[in-house]
Chain A
Amino acid sequence: MSNPIFLIIQREFLSRVRKKSFILVTLIVPVAFAALIFAPGLLASMPEDSKRIIVLDEPSLLLPHEGKEQYAIEYLDPRETNLELAKTSFRDSEYDALLYIPSGSNWDPDFIKNNVLLFGKEDPSMELQGYLDYLLEQQIDKAKLLKNGVDPEIIAQIKTNVTIQSFTLDDEGNDEQSAVPIKMALGYFTGLLIYIFIFFYAVQVMRGVMEEKSSRIVEVIISSVRPYQLMMGKIIGIGLVGVVQFAIWIGLSGIFYTVISTVFFPELFAEHAAAGNAAAKIPGLDVIDMLRSIDFITISFGFLFYFFGGYFLYSALFAAVGSAVDQEADTQQFMLPVTIPMILALTTTMSVVQEPNGTLAFWMSMIPLTSPITMMARLPFGIPLWEVFLSGAILVATFFIVVGLAGKIYRVGILMYGKKVTWKELFKWLKY
């Protein structure tokens, strides 16, 4: 007789992979990812829903800017009109807003700054207001400087922007351009992904356990297999669903990216890439060099290891939670304490990537309930190997202990109906 655990894995896997929702999620996620990558570029390149503004600029404050604005601006001649007249003509015109800059008695910038008025046919957008604020502030600053006898050119020259080029010096004395910002982003992003994926799949394990319990099939099954086999079969089966989903996502993302970038928007992509490069091209820093300093192989293996380690650990805990309750609503009291370490790990990720070798980062990447996220966030920075192995070993060891304990709770819980279970009770079950 073949080991029934394989049958269970097979059923858990196939019953999920064949679901419509699986196919849907699997297809939508890469599309959403592609959309996330391309949408900002697309939006930026879309022609503005251009607003048209009339400006009555008594002090001629904006005059040097004429014609360069993001908005179609029509300047009224202050010698020929006043606010009342401008308002009347604005009401009948097709313009969207009327900006009034008064000159006051003596063009005092402080008077002007407090008395600028904006009229709109509907509420003027934040974006428009922000833009006008910025524009006016700039001009008023200049006016003030001039008034105090300072040349704005000098101020512009005085402004300093320091760019430090950092290098990591390895044992052989080679220096590599360090890529701290990219590493931080990568660490944060992969840590977040681990968090999302662990939750996503571990919750499916919990749901599966609850489904078997509430549909009452569980007793039939465990009269054929050990409860432990059923639990492990479910965890492994859903883990495999995760593997397949990952593989499809990676493949599809690649295809989408290539297709969209080369077929649909070749010019946009070229622009986008150029813009990206330009932004990253802080003088003296080479993106290619920076990327070369990141050990992608370690990160990829680390990602797989910490995903599965974290997933197995948490799904065992979630399976125990699912077995202990009758309805989804009752899971809250157990879910919260179980997930707090994960949330903690996620919220500290920002500090961890800022100081990847700090005490907080070290301990959080050793504690098995937080290490999948925290260690993942640290990996791009090149962590001493012994730390990685130690954290991995602790994670695996904890998994075996937790699975044993979760299995005990599970064994009792799946046959317990109509009882509001407390924490005290769960601990008692461990001793059954």
Chain B
Amino acid sequence: MITAKKVSKEYSAKLALDGVDLSIPKGSIYGLLGPNGAGKTSFIRIMNQITAPDKGEVYFGSELLQPRDIARIGYLPEERGLYKKMKVGEQVLYLARLKGLTTNEARSKAKEWFERLEMSGWWDKKVEDLSKGMAQKVQFVTTVLHEPELLIFDEPFTGFDPINTNLIKGEIQRLNENGATVIFSTHRMESVEEICNHIGLIDNGTVMIEGNLLDIRKHYKDGTFAFTTRTVIDDWGGHEVFLQREDPMGYLTVLKAAEFPKELVISLSQKGELVAFEEVLPTVNDIFIEIVKNGPKPWNHE
């Protein structure tokens, strides 16, 4: 959907993006992750053509990104807001028309969304009379109303209350199932881990790692296994145990093993001690810290 090639952007002698290569697959839910100031927003603004890159190209589909592509993108910025004095309905129509919809198209689509999110009574209210949660819903509707092929959410869940967060996560997943590509940009990596299937990790303006989330997590797995047993077990067959504590289900033991600890699993099951067992994949956060500390782990193509 989006392919960035060697994109660089400089702000007053600070390199915000340094030769960024990214590719965001069509139909994916893509997590654009990295700490604050990593360059995420700079990249998003380039996709939205708010700024232009100093160097490099961005492709939308197979063609270079063009001004008219803005109608195919829906963008919810981190710094968001609405005209306070304007009525909700008018505002939604205005923003949709700026994206190229006709008034009638915009109105019928807005009515659908208002019904869907139970906000039908708000049409003639002024934004300043809405609660924060209500304004967030309006903001969300303005982002998706023109049925964009690409949805970009910058820090989507900061400032949204938990109820709206769930509602909107659900709506975003539905839009994704209907074909929209979704980009989440956030520094709170754990918050999108469950819904993203692709991620790109950015730090200091460069891409640290990018790809299918599951593949990445598999690639970075470090032989950590978690056992939950009914009683305290002392003999772990010489494996390095680095966590042992009581657990609602019994006793949790986390250890490292160079290979899959088949013997342990069998013996514990035979003893009737094993309640649960899993291999612990590193979280995105862990991977990020690992990469920042030790650099990316080379892929060995097997």
Residue pair A223, B100 in contact (C-beta under 8 Å): no
| B175 is an interface residue with CB less than 8 A from chain A | no
Residue pair B85, A15 in contact (C-beta under 8 Å): yes
Complex contacts, B300 vs chain A, CB 8 Å: none
Complex contacts, B12 vs chain A, CB 8 Å: 428, 432
Complex contacts, A428 vs chain B, CB 8 Å: 12
Residue pair B73, A223 in contact (C-beta under 8 Å): yes
A259 to chain B, nearest CB (A): 35
Query: How many residues of A are in contact with the other chain, CB < 8 A?
Result: 23
Secondary structure call for the A interface: helix
Complex contacts, B70 vs chain A, CB 8 Å: 223-224
Per-residue contact bits, chain A 404-432, to B (CB 8 Å; 1 contact, 0 not): 00000000000101000000000010001
Chain A positions 180-234 with a Cβ under 8 Å from a chain B Cβ: 211-212, 215-217, 219-225, 227
Q: Which of A1, A7, A220, A432 is B71 in contact with, Cβ under 8 Å?
A: A1
A-B contact count (CB 8 A): 62
User: Taking A1-B100, A222-B50 as contacts, is the C-beta distance between A215 and B77 under 8 angstroms?
Assistant: no
Complex contacts, A221 vs chain B, CB 8 Å: 95, 98
User: Taking A219-B79, A223-B75, A223-B77 as contacts, is the C-beta distance between A15 and B100 under 8 angstroms?
Assistant: no
CA distance A11 to B50 in the complex (A): 21
B159 to chain A, nearest CB (A): 11
Please report A residues at the B interface, Cβ cutoff 8 Å: 1, 4, 7-8, 11, 15, 211-212, 215-217, 219-225, 227, 415, 417, 428, 432
Complex contacts, A417 vs chain B, CB 8 Å: 79
Q: Which of B50, B68, B85, B94 is A223 in contact with, Cβ under 8 Å?
A: B50
Question: Can you list 7 contacts pairing A with B, beta carbon distance less than 8 Å?
Answer: A7-B94, A7-B98, A216-B77, A216-B79, A217-B80, A415-B45, A432-B11
CA distance A4 to B94 in the complex (A): 10
- Which chain B residue shows the least CB distance to A14? B90
Complex contacts, A212 vs chain B, CB 8 Å: 83
Q: Which of A1, A215, A415, A432 is B81 in contact with, Cβ under 8 Å?
A: A215
CA distance A15 to B87 in the complex (A): 10
A177 to chain B, nearest CB (A): 54
- Which chain B residue shows the least CB distance to A212? B83
Residue pair A220, B94 in contact (C-beta under 8 Å): no
Complex contacts, A222 vs chain B, CB 8 Å: 50
Complex contacts, A4 vs chain B, CB 8 Å: 97-98
CA distance A7 to B106 in the complex (A): 14
User: Taking A7-B94, A223-B70 as contacts, is the C-beta distance between A415 and B142 under 8 angstroms?
Assistant: no
